C-alpha cells in the first residue's frame, strides 16, 4: 500500500484511531506512517502490514489479532476494540472500511499520475479496467496482465480475487509507479459489482458473457444480466464500455450506459472483429481486426496506435472460447496505446490461461492426453470444454469426459446437468465418467439420449473414479476433467496427467 499516516487512514475509513504501544515513539499516534501490505489473513501478515480483522462465515478475524500483532502488524482495523499493542482503528463495518481504504488509495494514485508522461512524452496516467462475466474473467485478466506488464507496472489479482474482499485487497497493491490496474469483478448477487465499480472507477468496463454460472444465487438469467450490467451503468461518458456483441444480453447493455460503447466478437458489427477461429491440440488461432482509435478518444492514449489494424493471434491455450477472452484483452490494450502486434506477441508467450483451466497435461500413462479444466464449471464453460475435446481429437483416438457437479445452479441444476449429458452424446464423446451424486443427472441423460451400453459410467467416490480410470484408459485417449471447485477432481486430473506437485 502507498504510504499513509494512521490519521489519514482513520479519516478514509471513518473510524476511531486508538494508539498502541508501537505508536509511542511519535509525538502523535496519528502521525505514524504505514506502507506495508494489507491483509485479511493473519498468516500473510509481515512487519509493517495492515491487518483487517473481518468477521467471517466460519470464524472471526478478531481471534487472529494476537497472531497478526506477533507477526509485526503495524495497524489493526477492527469492528470492535481488541487487546493488542499495535495501533487500531475501530470501524462500524470492516468490509465497508476495506472498500473505503481501497477507493482512497486508487484515487490518490490516479490524481498523482494525472499529468504523468512516458519516455516518449505521451500521457501515462493510471488506467483502470474492470472485468466481469459469467465465464472467462480470470483468463481475460491474466491475458491482459501479460500484455500490459510489458508496457508499465501492472497490478492484477493472483488467482480469482474478485469479490468484496479480494478485489479491494488487489487494488490496495497499487503504487505511485503503477501504470495499469486490472480488477476482476465477480458477484453472487445484485449490487456486488456496482459496489466494486464505485471503488475502482474503471476507465474501461468489460462484460464478457451472461450465463447460468451462479444462477442459483442470482435467481435466474435475468437477475444475472442485471448484476453484470452494473459494470457499465455507472461509467461516466469519459469511460468505455467494452461489450461482447455476440451475446445478446451483453450487447443490450449499450442502452444502459453513458460511456462510449465498443463491441468485440465474431459478429459483423463488432468494432474489434474475430475471424478464422481454429483450435487443435497446439492451441487456438484467430485473426482480430481493429478500427483506428480516433484522435481525442477520451479512453485512448495518444490517438491511433502504431502497428497494423489486424493481427493473427496464436494462443498456446486450448478452446475457441479463449479467442473471445484474448480479443477482449487485446482490445483494452490497443485502446491504451499497445499495438495489436505487441499484444499478440505477449499472448503467444502464455502456456496456460491459469492453473486447472484447460490445462494440457501429457505426463501420465503413455499415450494419454489430459485436459484438466476442473477449477470451476458452469453450463456454458462445460459445453465449451466438451466442444474443444471433440475438436482436438485425432483419427484413432478416443475421447473421455470425466465430469463432476456444476454447483450453484439452484432450481436449474437438474435441467442443466441433463443438457450436458445429452450434449456429450451428440458430440460423439467416446466415454463418459460422471463423478459424484450431484452430477448424476449427466449420467442419466446421456444413457437415455444414446441408449448407451457402458459408454457412461457413474462413480460416486473420487478415489474409486481414479482406480476405474487407471484401468479404463488406454494409449490414444484424450481425457477432459471438468467440475465446480472440487479439489479432489482437480487433483484427479493432475494424477491422470502425471502432475505430482
The 10s digit of each residue's pLDDT in 337-364 is: 999 999 999 999 998 777 777 888 887 6
**Average pLDDT of 457-462?**
91
Is the pLDDT reported for residue 26 higher than 60?
A: no
- Give the whole-angstrom CA distance, residue 316 versus residue 350: 7
- Give the whole-angstrom CA distance, residue 42 versus residue 64: 6
The 10s digit of each residue's pLDDT in 406-424 is: 987 888 889 999 999 999 9
> What confidence category does residue 366 fall into, taking pLDDT thresholds of 50, 70 and 90?
confident
Q: Supply the pLDDT for residue 432.
A: 96
Binding residues for ATP: 133-139
The 10s digit of each residue's pLDDT in 226-247 is: 989 999 998 999 999 999 999 9
Q: Which of 109-113, 448-452, 453-457 has the lowest mean pLDDT?
A: 448-452
- Give the whole-angstrom CA distance, residue 469 versus residue 450: 22
The 10s digit of each residue's pLDDT in 91-138 is: 999 999 999 999 999 999 999 999 999 888 888 999 999 999 988 898
Q: Supply the pLDDT for residue 303.
A: 43
Binding residues: 133-139
Nearest to 122 by CA among 380, 295, 325: 295
Strand (E) or helix (H) holding 375: none
Is the pLDDT reported for residue 188 higher than 60?
A: yes
Is the pLDDT reported for residue 464 higher than 80?
A: yes
Is the pLDDT reported for residue 426 higher than 70?
A: yes
More confident residue, 106 or 222: 106
| Residue bearing cell 504505514 | 34
- Give the whole-angstrom CA distance, residue 6 versus residue 172: 16
Distances in Å between the alpha carbon of 281 and those of 160, 327, 388?
26, 20, 9
For residue 221, the 8-state DSSP code is H
Angle at 342 between CA 340 and CA 348, to 5 degrees: 100
Is the pLDDT reported for residue 302 higher than 50?
A: no
Strand (E) or helix (H) holding 343: helix 340-348
More confident residue, 29 or 320: 320
Question: What DSSP string describes 143-186?
Answer: HHHHHHTTSS-EE--STT--STTHHHHHHTT--TT--EEEEE--
Interstrand relation of 456-459 and 359-361 (parallel, antiparallel or unpaired): unpaired
Amino acid at each position: 500500500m502507498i504510504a499513509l499516516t494512521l490519521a489519514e487512514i482513520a479519516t478514509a475509513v471513518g473510524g476511531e484511531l486508538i494508539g498502541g504501544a508501537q505508536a509511542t515513539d511519535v509525538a502523535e499516534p496519528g502521525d505514524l506512517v504505514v506502507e506495508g501490505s494489507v491483509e485479511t489473513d493473519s498468516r500473510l501478515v509481515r512487519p509493517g502490514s495492515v491487518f483487517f480483522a473481518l468477521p467471517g462465515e466460519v470464524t472471526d478475524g478478531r481471534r487472529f489479532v494476537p497472531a497478526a500483532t506477533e507477526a509485526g502488524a503495524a495497524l489493526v482495523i477492527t469492528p470492535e476494540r481488541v487487546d493488542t499493542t499495535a495501533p487500531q482503528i475501530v470501524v462500524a463495518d470492516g468490509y465497508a472500511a476495506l472498500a473505503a481504504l481501497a477507493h482512497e488509495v486508487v484515487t490518490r494514485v490516479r490524481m498523482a499520475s494525472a499529468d504523468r508522461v512516458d519516455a516518449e512524452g505521451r500521457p501515462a496516467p493510471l488506467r483502470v479496467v474492470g472485468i466481469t462475466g459469467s465465464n472467462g474473467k480470470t483468463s481475460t485478466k491474466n491475458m491482459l496482465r501479460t500484455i500490459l506488464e510489458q508496457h508499465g507496472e501492472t497490478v492484477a489479482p493472483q488467482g480469482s480475487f474478485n469479490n468484496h474482499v479480494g478485489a479491494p485487497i488487489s487494488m490496495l497493491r497499487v503504487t505511485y509507479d503503477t501504470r495499469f490496474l486490472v480488477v476482476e469483478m465477480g458477484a453472487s448477487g445484485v449490487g456486488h459489482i456496482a459496489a466494486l465499480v464505485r471503488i475502482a472507477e474503471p476507465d474501461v468496463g468489460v462484460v464478457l458473457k451472461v450465463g447460468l454460472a451462479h444462477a442459483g444465487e442470482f435467481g435466474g438469467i435475468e437477475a444475472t444480466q442485471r448484476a453484470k450490467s452494473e459494470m457499465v451503468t455507472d461509467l461516466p461518458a469519459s469511460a468505455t464500455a467494452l461489450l461482447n456483441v455476440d451475446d445478446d444480453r451483453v450487447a443490450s447493455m449499450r442502452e444502459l450506459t453513458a460511456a462510449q460503447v465498443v463491441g468485440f466478437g465474431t459478429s459483423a458489427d463488432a468494432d474489434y472483429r474475430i475471424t478464422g477461429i481454429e483450435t487443435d491440440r497446439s492451441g487456438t488461432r484467430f485473426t482480430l481486426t481493429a478500427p483506428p482509435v480516433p484522435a481525442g478518444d477520451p479512453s485512448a492514449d495518444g490517438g491511433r496506435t502504431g502497428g497494423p489494424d489486424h493481427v493473427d493471434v496464436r494462443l498456446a491455450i486450448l478452446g475457441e472460447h479463449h479467442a473471445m477472452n484474448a480479443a477482449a484483452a487485446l482490445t483494452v490494450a490497443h485502446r491504451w496505446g499497445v499495438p495489436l502486434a505487441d499484444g499478440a506477441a505477449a499472448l503467444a508467450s502464455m502456456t496456460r490461461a491459469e492453473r486447472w483451466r484447460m490445462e494440457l497435461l501429457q505426463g501420465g500413462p503413455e499415450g494419454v492426453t489430459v485436459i484438466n479444466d476442473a477449477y470451476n464449471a458452469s453450463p456454458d464453460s462445460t459445453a465449451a470444454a466438451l466442444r474443444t475435446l471433440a475438436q482436438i481429437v485425432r483419427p484413432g483416438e478416443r475421447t473421455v469426459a470425466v465430469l463432476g457437479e456444476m454447483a450453484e445452479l439452484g432450481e436449474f441444476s437438474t435441467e442443466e446437468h441433463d443438457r450436458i449429458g445429452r450434449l456429450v452424446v451428440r458430440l460423439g464423446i467416446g466415454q463418459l465418467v460422471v463423478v459424484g451424486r450431484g452430477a448424476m443427472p449427466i449420467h442419466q441423460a446421456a444413457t437415455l439420449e444414446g441408449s448407451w451400453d457402458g459408454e457412461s459410467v457413474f462413480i460416486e467416490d473420487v478415489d474409486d473414479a481414479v482406480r476405474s480410470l487407471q484401468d479404463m484408459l488406454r494409449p490414444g485417449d484424450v481425457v477432459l476433467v471438468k467440475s465446480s471447485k472440487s479439489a479432489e477432481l482437480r487433483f484427479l486430473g493432475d494424477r491422470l496427467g502425471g502432475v505430482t506437485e
